[in-house]
Amino acid sequence: ILFKPIVGGDAGLVDNTFFVFGYHDYVRDLYVVVGEWYGNYKTLAEIKEAYDEGVEAHFKDWLDPETVLDIFDIAAYDLRHEHEMSFGRPRKAKVEETISFVRDCFINDKVLIHSSCERLIWELGNAIWNERRTEISRSSKQSHRDGVMALAYALREVRWGSRPEDVSSGLEFNKVRRNR
């Protein structure tokens, strides 16, 4: 296995809820975004259904993805217990540090986004700070850039520079030799 599927999510519920579906390519040490989903005013059942459809569409033949989701505690409880959705909570830092981390990933060519992820690409190109530089600006026209944060949460879960535990790192060169 040379890929680790990782889904990042930011559930604003009445604000945008956004999922980024991607995987860590261990060979290139790159996070590849292959899909997105977002919606406003969705029920927890609708969010779970969208998540399941995204996982099925992008990771059908893979292992279950590692999923991190930023969501209010009571909604997290309901998603886990009423809708049987498994996820962890994102490792958070100050927003400015998180955005700097995402920018560093782009600067170091650690992120590749499929062109079908139009909303995420748009958000990355249009997100701006609020006046106090404490969070991404909210505006009624442009939402809160939940896609940027969903991507950030996924990127924080990547184990950069590592190989999967179930891939041998021994000296078994005869298994990779192509020609004799």
pLDDT digit of tens for each residue in the chain (180 aa)? 688 999 999 998 767 899 999 999 999 999 999 999 999 889 999 999 999 999 999 998 877 899 999 999 999 999 999 999 999 999 888 888 888 899 999 999 999 999 999 999 998 887 665 555 555 555 545 555 789 999 999 999 999 998 766 655 555 555 555 544
Residue 179's pLDDT is what? Answer: 47
Residue type, 48: K
Give the count of alpha carbons within 13 A of 14, CB side only: 1
The whole-angstrom separation of Cα 56 and Cα 79 is 18
Residue 144's pLDDT is what? Answer: 59
Residue 94's pLDDT is what? Answer: 82
CA 98 to chain centre: 13
Residue 140's pLDDT is what? Answer: 46
Angle at 19 between CA 14 and CA 22, to 5 degrees: 170
Do 54 and 7 contact (CB within 8 A), yes or no? yes
Give the count of alpha carbons within 13 A of 158, CB side only: 25
CA distances from 120 to 13, 85, 87, 107, 112 (A): 18, 23, 21, 17, 12
Do 146 and 155 contact (CB within 8 A), yes or no? no
* Rg of the chain on CA atoms, in Å: 17
Residues 6 or more apart whose CB falls under 8 angstroms from that of 124 comprise 113, 147, 148, 151
User: The pTM is what?
Assistant: 0.85
